[in-house]
Structure 1
Amino acid sequence: MKKVVNAWREDMLGIQSKTLIKITLFLFCLIPSVYALSMIRSSWNPYAKTNMRRLPIAFVNDDQGVYSHGKNINIGNDIAKDLKRNPSVGWKFVNYWQGNNGLTNGKYYALIQIPSDFSQRITTTTSDNPQQVVLTYQINQKLNAAATKLSSEVESDLSEQVRQKLVHTQTKLIIKKMNSFSDVLS
């Protein structure tokens, strides 16, 4: 054991006197540190909201609209206009075939589709037979785990936006219906 300790001590004393060895050891310590810092920086907080604008998400608006209470209503177009003004997500406005094909081929991380009877179903809230409004949402889970998580967040944000739009539209329809009843009663 003494021989090992003595050999180590001699090596350390030899290193102190040689500049080239000092530079080599310094570089051996510096290069992995620089690499580690760059890798940590690139993967730091992959679920940040700022990363959502880099995610291509297909948006398909098949809503046909409806004529109700003397007014044309197309909630799908209103939602699409709002999304076009929202640069925080990489929305790609496509038809159903392009969206489904892109989702299958890995071009898009998710597909959100507004069905053709979307506005018609919304207007049924003031009728005797209200119908549930449905959005189709598909995720390409095989591409990237972080993207799957971010796509889910986009879906929940969009659902909240649609919910607000529905409440606004339904409130207008209910008020119009109540006004028509008050005109009949007067």
Structure 2
Amino acid sequence: MIVFSSLQIRRGTRVLLDNATATINPGQKVGLVGKNGCGKSTLLALLKGELSADGGNVTFPNNWALAWVNQETPALDIPAIEYVIDGDREYRQLEAELQAANEKNDGHAIATVHGKLDAIHAWTIQSRAASLLHGLGFSQEKLQQPVRSFSGGWRMRLNLAQALVCRSDLLLLDEPTTWIWMPSSGWKNG
């Protein structure tokens, strides 16, 4: 559950939220609607821990994994599918731990990491990422193209796939009704 209690957020002299209180229960889908500059993106930044409230507080379970769609995409040389897989931070962390355990030839650590990889179904990561990319309009050939080769609109789709591949308890979508989300919103909802 997410609880906003007596929340106050200011930007300069402008008050965006004043004594705002709300509760969002697990399983609820919530949309923030308002004109530009009213604080929607600021509230999402607060949830991500990128800024602090001027008053009141926000609470949600410490063990919740958050995912969000980045607004910028660096011009990277890595393949699109690897960029998307980077969104599964737990998988990438375990991958690094496995490499370190292998370098030390630590059989116990290797077995432990393999157990953790098994628990998160790591063997499905390539197919999950490919499925997301195909659902967002990427052809099989484009999965191996470098991120830098895509236009801004296609890079936003990469960012969406990166957020969706992450096992999260809370998915934050900023500006989800813009043109980039329209074709894929029906696909995501099944």
* Pairwise same-fold verdict (TM > 0.5): no
Q: TM-score, normalised by structure 2?
A: 0.21
Task: Decide which structure has the larger Cα Rg and report it.
Answer: 1
Q: With CA pairs under 8 Å and 6+ residues apart, which has the higher RCO, 1 or 2?
A: 2
Q: TM-score, normalised by structure 1?
A: 0.22
